[in-house]
Amino acid sequence: MPPKRSLSEAHIEEIDDDVDIKPITKMLEVTSSPLVSEDESLKDIKPFIATSPMKSKFQSNKKAKPNSSTPSPKKKNITPKVEYTHGHPSAKARFAEIIIENGIKGYDKTFVENETGLTKNQQKEMLKTGRGSLWKALYGFASTL
């Protein structure tokens, strides 16, 4: 009795028996040139295996329509930074204006951040170590009144 083979080995052998792989060679034109011999021209032949074209997963289909059942990503509510142009006070001057209106202890840091674009740490630094720059902004704003 032949030795028992596992099912996968027997299946692989069946597949191998079914497929005949033959190299496809192209016909060479034999030239009468004495420089190229037949042996050299046969060395340059590489077997060609015809395969069906497979689509790469990186290729995009331009005609593909987005699935309408999937919701589009929602945009986060980000308040844009306030940009001051000519004729309007700078962010520091607006910060100084808010301090004048509400007082140094009564101003809301998140409101100032939304109005001027200055973060809470920047506000803290301007009030703590940047007294000169805040003073200049206050002076510039007061001179326009």
The 10s digit of each residue's pLDDT in 74-93 is: 666 665 555 545 566 778 77
What gap in Å lies between CA 107 and CA 136, rounded to an integer?
Answer: 19
pTM: 0.34
Tokens of 33: 């040139």
The mean pLDDT of 90-114, rounded to a whole number, is 82
Q: Provide the pLDDT for residue 144.
A: 84
Check: CB of residue 97 under 8 Å from CB of residue 76. Answer: no
